[in-house]
Chain A
Amino acid sequence: MTTVALERPRPSGLVGWVASTDHKRIALMQVAASMGFFVASGIAALLMRSELAKPGMQIVSRQSYDELFTIHGSGMIYLTVTPLALAVGLYLIPLQIGAAEVAWPRLALLGLWLFVAGGVIMYLGFAVDHGAAKAGWFATYPLSDAANTSGKGEDMWICGVFLAVLGNTIQSGSLLATIVGKRAPGMTMSRLSPFTWSMLATVLMALTSFPVLLGTMAALEWDRLHGGVFSGHYGPVAYQLLFWFYGHPVVYVMFFPFVGMAAEVVSAFSARRFFAYKGFTFSILLFAALSMSVWAHHMFATGRINNEYFSLTSTMLIVPAGLEYFALIGTMIGGAIVFSTAMLFAIGFLLLFLIGGLTGIIVASPPLDYHLTDSYFYVAHFHYALFGGSLFAFFAGAYYWFPKVTGALLRESLGKLQFLLMLVGANLTFFPMLVLGFEGMPRRVATYPPRFTSLNALETVGGFVIALGVLVFFVNVWWSLRRRVEAGNDPFGGPTLEWWTSSPPPRLNFDSLPPIRSFAPLFDMRDDRR
C-alpha cells in the first residue's frame, strides 16, 4: 500500500496545529495537554500535602480538601497518565511499524479534543456553586448521588470523565486499526517491537473496558437528574462492579505502555536484543487478560463479592509480571550497559514498581485487605505503581525519544539531577504512607491524630522534592530546545524502525525502509555490517 498526502499546503501556525491530522502533531498536543493537567493535579497534591504537614486545619477547608483529592486523583488518572500513554502510542506506533500515518487520523484528532474538553469541564467545576466534585476519583455511590453531593461540580465531573474516556476509547480504536492493518511489508505481528506489543494489549483493554465506564457515567448522571438507577437494594454494589470493570483495567492501561517504553530503553542502553521476546509477548497478553478479571478485588470489604475468584486471579498476576521482570533483567545481563538518564529512570521504574507490585500481592489477600482497606497503605501502593512505575518509565522514554521528536538531545546532567530528586522524593513521600496505613491512618482525611505528625511532615517534604524534580525536567526541555545539541537520526543506537528516519521525522515518516527481518531491524543491519 502506498500512502500519499493530498496536494494541499500544510496549514501553519496555531490553527494548523489545532486541526492537524498528522499523528505526530496530535500526539505532541496530547502530551502537552496531559502535562498541563499533570501540573494542575500536582499543585492540588502539594496543597493537600501542605495541609497534612501537621494536624488540624491550616490552609484549606474540609470541603476544599475533598475537592482537591477528587480532582488530584481524577486529573492524574483520566487526564494525565491514560492520555499520556495513548499519546506516546500515537506518536511512535506508526514509526515503529513503518507506516506513514495512523488509521483514521480524524478519529485520533477527535479523541484529542474530546479529552481536552473533558478535562477543562472537570476543572471548571471549581467555578460553580458548591465547588468541584468531591466524591473521589471513583465517585462511590451513594456518596455521588444528588442528595449526598449537591451542586453542579459533580455533574461536570461526570460529563468531563465521560468525554475524556470517550476520547481515549476512540483513539484506542484508531491505534488498534493502525497496529493490525497498517504495518509495512515484512513487519509481521511477530516482528512488532515490545513497545508496540504493549500498546496492542493496552488498546484491547481500553476498547473492551472503557465502554462500560461510559455507560456507567451516563447512568450515574441520569440517576443524579432523575433518580432510580442505582438507588435499589443492589444499586451501590452494581455501581461499584461496573465502575471497577473499568477502574482496574485502566491501571494496566496506565502501566503497559510504560513497560514497553522501559523495555525499549533497556534494550537500547544495554546494546542487546530484547531478551525472551516471545515469552514477553505472550505474558503481556496473559497479563492483560488477567487484569480484566480482577476488578472486584477493590470490593473485598463490601462483603458482597466472590472473594475466592478475585483473590485467585489477583494473585495470579504475579506470574506474567514476573515474566516481564525476567525479560527486562535478562536483557541487561551480559549487555554493555550505559547508565544514561533514560536507563537510570528505567532501572528506577523496575525498583519502584516492584514495591507497588509486592504491596499489590498483600492487598490481593482478603483478610489483609480488610485490615488495610481505605488506609494510607493503599495510597502508597498505587502511587508506587503509577508514580514510581508509570511516570518513571515515561521519563525514561522522554529522555530516549526526545531527540527523535525534536532533533535535539536533552541535557544529561540536568536529567541525572532530576532522577536523583524524583527517586529521593518518591520514597520520602510514599514509603512513610505504607507505615501510616499499617498503623491505621485512613485515606482522604484532612487531619489526623498527633502521633502521625512526623511521618506526615516527611511526606510533605518529599512531595516538594518531587515537584522540584519535575521543575528540573521542564527547565531541561526549555534549555535543550534553546541551546540545541543536534542529535542526528540515531543517537543511541536504537533497535527499532523510528531510528531509521530523520529527527524529527518527515510528514509521512519515511522516505525509505530497511529490510525487516525481526523485531529489531536496525540491530539486524548493524550485525550484517559486522
Chain B
Amino acid sequence: MQRRWTPLLVWAGMLAALTCIQFIFSTNPYYWATLGGAAVATGLFAAYYLWRPPLQVEEYVPESSYATVAVAAGAAVAVAGVPFGPWLYLPGLALLVVGLGGLVHELRVERRRA
C-alpha cells in the first residue's frame, strides 16, 4: 500500500463487498443506502487523491484565525437558536456571516503576503 490512495480504495472495496454480501440476506434500503453510501464516499476520496494536482512548492500556514472562532460561535448560536426562535438564531446567523467575511479577508491578506 505504497500509494496514498491505495488504502482508501482497499477500504472502499471492503465496504462494497460487505454491501453486496448483505443483499444475500436482505434488500432493506436503509442497509444498502448507508453502507453502500459509505463505500461510494470512500471511493470518491480515493479518486480525489488519485487525480489531485501536485502540491505547491511552498505552503504558508497561519498563526491564528479570529474569523474561524467567530464562524464557530455564529454557527453554534444559530444552531442552538433553532428550538428557541429567531431572537436567537438570527443573531447567530449574523455572527456567522461576519465570521465568514472575516475569513475571506484573512485569506486575501494571506495571499498578498505570500
Contact = CB atoms under 8 A, between A and B. Distances in A.
Interface of A: 1-11, 16, 18-22, 100-101, 105-106, 109-110, 112-114, 117-118, 121, 152, 155-156, 158-160, 162-163, 166-167, 176, 180-181, 183, 188-190, 200-201, 204, 207-209, 212, 221, 224-225, 238, 241-242, 245, 281, 285-286, 288-290, 292-293, 295-296, 305-306, 308-309, 313, 508
A162 B79 CA distance: 8
B82 A159 contact: yes
Contact of B69 (A5, A113, A245, A289): A113
Nearest to B66: A19
Per DSSP, chain A at the interface is helix
Contacts of B68: 19, 21, 106, 109-110, 113
Contacts of B56: 1
A224 B79 CA distance: 15
Given A1-B57, A9-B63, 9 more contacts: A162-B79, A163-B80, A188-B2, A204-B11, A221-B82, A238-B30, A290-B18, A292-B38, A309-B21
Contact of B113 (A7, A121, A221, A289): A7
Contact of A19 (B3, B58, B65): B65
10 contacts: A1-B59, A21-B64, A152-B83, A159-B79, A180-B8, A245-B35, A285-B7, A292-B15, A292-B35, A306-B22
Interface in B24-79: 24-26, 28, 30-31, 34-35, 37-38, 41-42, 45, 49, 52, 55-66, 68-69, 71-73, 75-76, 79
Contacts of A508: 61
Contacts of B110: 6
B45 A176 contact: yes
Interface of B: 1-8, 10-11, 14-15, 18-19, 21-22, 24-26, 28, 30-31, 34-35, 37-38, 41-42, 45, 49, 52, 55-66, 68-69, 71-73, 75-76, 79-80, 82-84, 103, 110, 113-114
A155 B84 CA distance: 9
A467 to B, nearest CB: 31
Nearest to A222: B82
Contacts of B18: 289-290, 292-293, 313
A101 B76 contact: no
A308 B15 CA distance: 18
Per DSSP, chain B at the interface is helix
Given A221-B83, A309-B25, A190 B1 contact: yes
Given A113-B73, A159-B79, A19 B61 contact: no
Nearest to B5: A180
B61 to A, nearest CB: 5
B62 A105 contact: yes
Q: Which of A11, A166, A225, A245 has the most CB of B within 10 A?
A: A245
A110 B71 contact: yes
Contact of B26 (A16, A101, A292, A309): A309
Given A11-B64, A200-B7, A114 B72 contact: yes
**Ranked 5 nearest A-B pairs via Cβ:** A117-B76, A113-B72, A155-B83, A289-B14, A208-B38
B63 to A, nearest CB: 5
Given A19-B66, A21-B61, A101-B61, A110 B38 contact: no
Contacts of A166: 75
A286 B14 contact: yes
A285 B14 contact: yes
A256 B4 CA distance: 20
Contacts of A176: 45
A6 B60 contact: yes
Contacts of A296: 31
A16 B31 CA distance: 46
A11 B37 CA distance: 43
A10 B63 contact: yes
Nearest to A10: B63
A343 B53 CA distance: 43
A5 B66 CA distance: 17
B73 A21 contact: no
A305 B31 CA distance: 10
Contacts of B79: 159, 162-163
B65 A109 contact: yes
Contact of B63 (A1, A5, A155, A313): A5
A313 B17 CA distance: 12
Contacts of B2: 188-190
A6 B113 CA distance: 8
Given A225-B83, A238-B30, A285-B14, A181 B63 contact: no
Contacts of B55: 1, 181
B108 to A, nearest CB: 13
A340 B114 CA distance: 47
A429 to B, nearest CB: 34
B11 A285 contact: yes
Given A114-B75, A281-B1, A18 B69 contact: yes
B25 A20 contact: no
A204 B8 contact: yes
Contacts of B73: 113, 117
B62 A21 contact: yes
A242 B34 CA distance: 8
Contacts of A181: 4, 49, 52, 55
A508 to B, nearest CB: 8
Contacts of A245: 34-35
Nearest to A308: B25
